[in-house]
Amino acid sequence: MDFLRPASWQEALAAKAEYPTAVPIAGGTDLMVEINFDHRRPDALLDLNRITELREWETGRQTVRLGASVPYSRIMEHLRAELPGLAQAAHTVASPQIRNRGGVGGNLGTASPAGDAHPALLASGARIEAVSVRGTRMIDVDDFYLGVKRNALAPDELIRAVHLPKATGPQAFAKVGTRNAMVIAVCAFGLALHPDRRTVRTGIGSAAPTPVRARVAEDFLTAALADGGHWDSGRPPAPSVAAEFARLVAGAANPIDDVRGTAAYRRHALGVLARRTLGWTWQAYREQDRSPACA
Amino acid sequence: MRVTLTVNGRRHQADDVWEGESLLYVLRERLGLPGSKNACEQGECGSCTVRLDDVPVCSCLVAAGQAQDRDVVTVEGLADPGTGLAPVQQAFLDAGAVQCGFCTPGLLVATDDLLRHCPQPTDADIREALSGNLCRCTGYEKILDAVRLAAARSGETAGER
Amino acid sequence: MTDTTARPRTDGGVVAPAGGAVGTARTRLEGRDKVTGAARYAADVPFDGLAHGWLVLSTVARGRITSMDTAAVLGMPGVLGVVHHGNAPRLHPAGLFGPDGQLQLLQDDRVPHVGRPVALVVARTPQQARAGAAALTVTYAQEPHDTVFRAGHPAGRPAPAAPARPDADLGDVEAEIAAAPVVVDQRYTTPEEHHSAMEPHASMARWEDGRLEVVDSNQGSFMVARVLATLFGLDQEIVRVRAEHVGGGFGSKGVGPQLVLAVMAATLLRRPVRVALTRRQVFSTTGLRPATEQRLRLASDSTGRLRAIDHATAAFTSTIQEYVERNTEASNVMYAADAIRTRTTVVPLDLPTPGWMRGPGAAAGSFALESAMDELAQAVGVDPVELRLRNEPSAGPVSGLPFSSRNLAACLREGARRFGWADRDPRPGTRREGRWLLGTGVACGSYGAGALPSTAAITARADGSYTVSVGAADIGTGARTALALVAADALGVPPESVRMRIADSRLGAAWFAGGSKGTASWSWAVTAAAADLRERLASVDRVPPDGVTGRGDTTDAIGALGKQERQSYGAQFAEVAVDTGTGEVRVRRMLGMFAAGRIVNPLTARSQLVGGMTMGLSMALHEEGARDEALGALVNSDFAGYHISAHADVPDIEADWVEDVDDSNPSGIKGVGEVGIAGTAAAIANAVWHATGVRHRALPVRLDRVLESGFPAAR
């Protein structure tokens, strides 16, 4: 095994081009477990810890460019206003020790359906900045997850950053686990209200081979909110609307039975989380100034 | 490969380090510092918690090469050689928060970090800060007591100044 | 070995005068070493020329090894040898309590379950050994296996009777049930559970001048040394086993596979060998609490007075060792009834051998009995605390023997008072707080007490210090500290002048840290040694330079004890909140009141009880070993998959005790290690019923089970 220690981003890209099988390691919170358990023996490790810009973020007018290695603990502390959904999700990641090391880039690189960041990334409409010596491309999060632990990165690409639209409305993340802490999600759900576009987006974790959006549920709720004039009136959607939204979210999942819960339970719980997050976010929407964000 | 790092204020060098090796392995097997414990190898139990450049991490999940030129503090480095036990160590001892002692090193490093950032934590703060440290003996109650005791004592000391 | 001295706690705790040490809170003697990281556990002790062994575990559940490609591994960097059934030393039958098939490692080509050690790769570094183990190709002739436990399994057979407690057959159970106005007849299941002590098992073995020296992680070095000597056909005189610091055991640290394999490797390679297990190997090779299925039939009159208790239990064992999970013990002693019948079935399967896990028998047995009592209370319409008080026996309900002491009623009454039980509305499913439904529950528990033969020696020195030598083990219980207090009082000296030497097989015969009998057994021997020493000191003018030694051996005194019912008792109260949408259960508070004889060190005893209750909470809500039927393998063999309670799961837990005087043992000690977990899971499950109106007769009370039980309309 080789241990590559690029001192700069350009060196990292060159190394990845030269050794496409080298596995990037930043927080190590997934990869080191696989190595410790002898599940994986990569040809080379590509250490990204020395590349300081990966741990930085820039807040622009409409988006946050979040370095791939910004630890979850920093997201919780500093980006609560701009990225509330992701900040909430960050707070539920494992433990303080893990949150001090792990970042969104690792979740995306591993692409495990149980990664806590995914529902928030899906719900906010993130784009992934994938870079290689060949150049930079932006991958829509909708196109990023290809299968169980498979993503859209080319062998020579590294994740430089994730671009997330700054929240224009309330966002929520909720997860069900068998314990109060240190929990792999039994299932997780993210919801973002986008009052500027008068749409909603969702993200489901741990309940399908890949993280997924509940698109039919989104379309239904977006239409129901528009038809009922809810964005202007602030009135909460009718219980029947919330129930249908919950049903459609549950239907979007494709879960399995495992140690942590049955497929039927996961579907049910997702419906509950959908209804709850809708309640919380709409309450927050009513309480905030409803003047259009982009007049 | 060779890894050079500072542990508890002392410069150390380890040779022939395997590239997939963890910082925990380097500490325990190469540097003669077995205070940090290996109990799960997957970041679930916190027994291997150390401060890496002042941030508590699970040393089993840090690749040895990532610790190159960095500063590590382990349980062995908490006590001040001049004045004896660190306040958190004394509090854990006095409150009966130590039983089999295997989770203790990681808990002490995590607690020490909590009290540096939050000298008067609430119970919720404590539970949150120590949520990544499993203990099978105590039921956690005495650990909570110990952290409260350490905080109260440092509060008294601060008040006397 | 560290010599340690008892110091009073520095935070203003009471410093007792000489003679009053027992009963005062004392900080742990070895605490300083533990908080500074200086305490050395078995995997921490360095040795010159130490080699490292790595286990290779079977991947099939039943079959034979047909080949093993050792040549390829022997050529790998640093590899020194591979121990396997073709070259391993032959072993004699041996075990802690009779021959134990589990210890017959690498003796033939049979594979009795997934996770059975089939080889040990030894190398210069742990990494090289691990790489070698990963590279060792083993091929098997696989045979059909059966790993699915159920009570009616055709392989099931009646368990051999426990020596002291045969199956109960009091009165005519069927006639009482037929005639009773109220009958509860239910089945309860508990899953496979794992000890999960924080320290993974580790051992170092080396031959030095014709003597075998072992540094181990165990619960009783003397008994381990005896087994080791028998197993390898050695004179016990040349075997020395030490276990100075042990990171928890909970029953799992007897003679571990890592120890047997380390001795084999050290014998073959003639160099020190350490074998340290990984967490996953601990899950696979060091025992477990077997899954149980229990049927409880309770019959009572219309006031709740019990007419019959019929308790039948089944649990699995392996095909290589008969382990019996004795779940019916409590049904023999808890409640008076006209008729009591108990039956125990073992089902041998292609699974690892179970073993004692904290509160063996009692933890799962009390879940069934105490859940059924709650169901009876509901059926009769009487308060569950009152129901238990109404059935309080005056003597052993089956044996007729007197209780050495009991005081369960005091635990129930005092617990109910402190918990605020009197205000409880008995109706289930009526207390709501936002999305949470709230409920409270009670359950009782017991665990056998007593002392087993041990020896001790105390040496008085000219400088006024006393060295206590006893083959005790301190696996985190605080035994080292408790014994120093017992010795100080028995000698009439301050604890500061007492030094403790424990955890070394050379210190003489001593019982195990197990069965909640460690401290009681060792204390008695220490007390006897102190009496002997005082007599000897009375006959000398001054202590000679090499000291004066007194010795104690309790074998005869224990043999002469009269027959009595000896148990620790407890009553536990729990309050839970159940999320109506997701089925999540959160325990809000727990209170345990115990009658556990004399409490030597309140600081460490309280920790033991709270720790037991916490493990009970974990059992109630989280713990469940899941096996793949096709492979017969545990699928959640790590801490990400097998959940034990974390800090945030554990609420305000209070443990306290009532006055409980047991004169049958000079120390008055009954033991606090196991009774804390007896009844906890039932108290929580009963509280979940009170919150939701739905019974949970299968542990753990998982969130999906809560919801899929039909409760309530999701909101």
Q: How far is B97 from chain C (nearest CA, A)?
A: 8
Judgement on whether residues C441 and C458 belong to the same structural domain of the protein: no
Q: Give the C-alpha separation, B120 to C306, whole Å.
A: 54
Nearest-CA distance from A34 to chain B in Å?
8
% of chain C residues with pLDDT over 90 = 90
Give the DSSP H or E segment for C420: none
Q: Per the CB < 8 Å rule, is C248 touching B40?
A: no
Using CB atoms, pick whichever of C647, C649, C708 lies closest to residue A265: C708
Question: With contacts defined as CB-CB under 8 Å, which chain C residues touch B108?
Answer: 35
Cα separation, C660 vs B108, in Å, equals 37
Tell the residue number behind the tokens 């950053």, with chain if given: A161
Predicted local confidence at residue C5, as pLDDT: 46
Mean pLDDT value of segment C146-167:
94
Residues of A in contact with C583 (CB under 8 A): 265, 269
A176 chain-C contacts, CB cut-off 8 A:
582, 584, 703
Q: Indicate if C713 and C596 belong to the same structural domain.
A: yes
pLDDT at residue number C240: 98
Residues 590-609 (C) with a CB less than 8 A from some CB of B: 603-604, 606-607
- Domain membership of residue C482 as a residue range: 31-39+451-559
CB contact under 8 A, B102 and C46: no
Among chain A residues, CA nearest to C587: A180
Write the pLDDT tens digit of every residue in C283-315: 999 999 999 999 999 999 999 999 999 999 999
Lateral strand order in the sheet of A44-47: A2-4, A44-47, A23-25
Q: What positions of C carry a catalytic annotation?
A: 674
- Asked if C646 and A182 come within 8 Å (Cβ–Cβ), the reply is yes
Asked if residue C693 and residue C584 are part of one domain, the reply reads yes
Residues of A in contact with B63 (CB under 8 A): 3, 25, 28, 32, 45, 47
Indicate the class that CATH gives domain B87-160: mainly alpha
**pLDDT value of residue C1:** 39
Among C582, C645, C650, C699, the strongest candidate for a mutation testing the A interface, having the largest count of A CBs within 10 A, is C582
Compare CB distances from C639 to B75, B134, B137 and report the shortest one's residue. B134
Per CB-CB distance under 8 Å, the chain A contacts of B110 are 96-97
DSSP H or E stretch at residue A32: helix A31-36
Given a cut of 70, whether residue C330 has pLDDT beyond it is yes
Identify whether the C-beta of residue A272 lies closer than 8 Å to the C-beta of residue C581: yes
Predicted pLDDT of residue C715:
36
- Residue C550 shares a structural domain with residue C594: no
Residue C266: half-sphere exposure toward Cβ, Cα within 13 Å:
26
- Give residue C2's pLDDT band: very low, low, confident or very high (50, 70, 90): very low
Last residue of a domain, one of C511, C544, C559: C559
pLDDT tens string C53-105 = 999 999 999 999 999 999 999 999 999 999 999 999 999 999 999 999 999 99
Nearest CA in chain A to B24: A36
C279: contact with B, CB 8 A cutoff: yes
The answer, yes or no, to whether residue C381 has pLDDT greater than 90, is yes
Do C444 and C463 fall within a single domain? no
Are B10 and B76 in contact, with CB atoms under 8 Å apart? no
Is the Cβ pair B110, A97 closer than 8 Å?
yes
Whether A90 and chain B come into contact, CB under 8 Å, resolves to no
Assign A179 a pLDDT band (cuts: 50, 70, 90).
Answer: low
- Gap between the Cα atoms of C6 and A264, Å rounded: 57
Q: Indicate whether A132 pLDDT > 70.
A: yes
* φ, ψ of residue C677 in degrees (nearest 5): -95, -10
Res C341: pLDDT: 98
- Per the rule left: phi > 0, alpha: psi between -120 and 50, beta: everything else, A196 is alpha
* pLDDT at A182 > cutoff 60: no
d(CA C291, CA C639): 19
pLDDT at B149: 97
Q: For residue C471, give how far its alpha carbon lies from the nearest alpha carbon of chain B (Å).
A: 18
pTM: 0.95
Show which of C534, C559, C584 is a domain's final residue: C559
User: Chains with ≥3 Cβ pairs under 8 A against C?
Assistant: A, B
> Are C250 and B136 inside 8 Å of each other by CB?
yes
CB pairs < 8 Å spanning A and B:
89
Round the average pLDDT of chain C to a whole number and report it.
94
The pLDDT of C559-563, averaged and rounded, is 90
Q: Quote the CA–CA distance of C204 and C256 in Å, as a whole number.
A: 12
What phi-psi label fits residue B136: left (phi over 0), alpha (psi between -120 and 50 degrees) or beta? alpha
Residue of C nearest to A279 (CA): C715
Residues A155-172: tens digit of each pLDDT: 999 999 999 999 999 999
Total domains in chain C come to 2
Q: Which residue of A has its CA nearest to C706?
A: A265
Q: Count of CB atoms within 10 A of residue A65's CB? A: 16
Query: How much is the pLDDT for C712?
Result: 54
pLDDT digits (tens, 9 = 90+) for C233-252: 999 999 999 999 999 999 99
- The residues spanned by each domain of chain A are 52-289
Contacts of C621 in chain A (CB under 8 A): 178
User: Which class is B3-77 in CATH?
Assistant: alpha beta
Give the model's confidence band at C666: pLDDT under 50 very low, under 70 low, under 90 confident, else very high.
confident
CB within 8 Å: C586 and A276: no
Which residues of B touch chain A, with CB atoms under 8 Å apart?
A: 1, 18-20, 22, 41-44, 46, 49, 55-58, 60-63, 65-66, 68, 110, 127-129, 131-134
Judged by a CB distance cut-off of 8 A, whether residue C636 touches chain A is yes
pLDDT band at C714 (very low <50, low <70, confident <90, very high): very low
- Work out the burial of residue A138: count CB atoms within 10 Å of its CB; fewer than 13 is exposed, 13-18 middle, 19 or more buried: exposed
- Domain boundary, last residue among C500, C533, C559: C559
Confidence of residue C163 (pLDDT cuts 50, 70, 90): confident
Q: Check if C640 contacts A (Cβ < 8 Å).
A: yes
- The candidate with the shortest Cα–Cα distance to C264, out of C132, C106, C135, C111, is C106
Query: Is B42–A100 a contact, with Cβ atoms under 8 angstroms apart?
Result: no
Of C127, C196, C650, the CB nearest to B18: C127
C109 with C58: CB under 8 angstroms?
no
Q: Is the pLDDT of residue C6 over 60?
A: no
CA distance linking residue B136 with residue B158, whole number of Å:
34
CA–CA distance, B92 with B77 (Å, rounded to integer): 16
pLDDT digits (tens, 9 = 90+) for A211-230: 999 999 999 999 999 999 99
- Minimal CA separation from A168 to chain C, in Å: 29
Scan residues 292-331 of C and list those with Cβ closer than 8 Å to A: none
Check whether residue C592 and residue C699 sit in a common domain: yes
User: Which class in CATH covers the domain with range A52-289?
Assistant: alpha beta
* pLDDT confidence bin for C11, thresholds 50/70/90: very low
Among A44, A97, A181, whose Cβ lies nearest the Cβ of B49? A97
- pLDDT at position B160, please? 55
Q: Are residues C457 and C539 in the same domain?
A: yes
Residue C689 maps to a domain? yes
Give a yes or no: residue C306 inside a domain: no
| Token pair of C13 as six digits | 């705790």
Look at B133 and C606 and tell me if their CB atoms are within 8 Å.
Answer: no
pLDDT tens column, A236-286: 999 999 999 999 999 999 988 877 778 899 999 999 999 999 999 999 999
For residue A182, give the nearest of B49, B62, B132 by CB distance.
B132
Please give the distance of CA A219 from its chain centroid, rounded to a whole number. Answer: 20
> What pLDDT shows up at residue C711?
64
| pLDDT tier for residue C29 given thresholds of 50, 70 and 90 | very high
Burial of C488 (0-12, 13-18, 19+ CB in 10 A): buried
pLDDT band at C23 (very low <50, low <70, confident <90, very high): confident
In a domain, C484, yes or no: yes
Domain ranges of chain B: 3-77, 87-160
In this complex, is the C-beta atom of C519 within 8 Å of any C-beta atom belonging to chain B? Answer: no
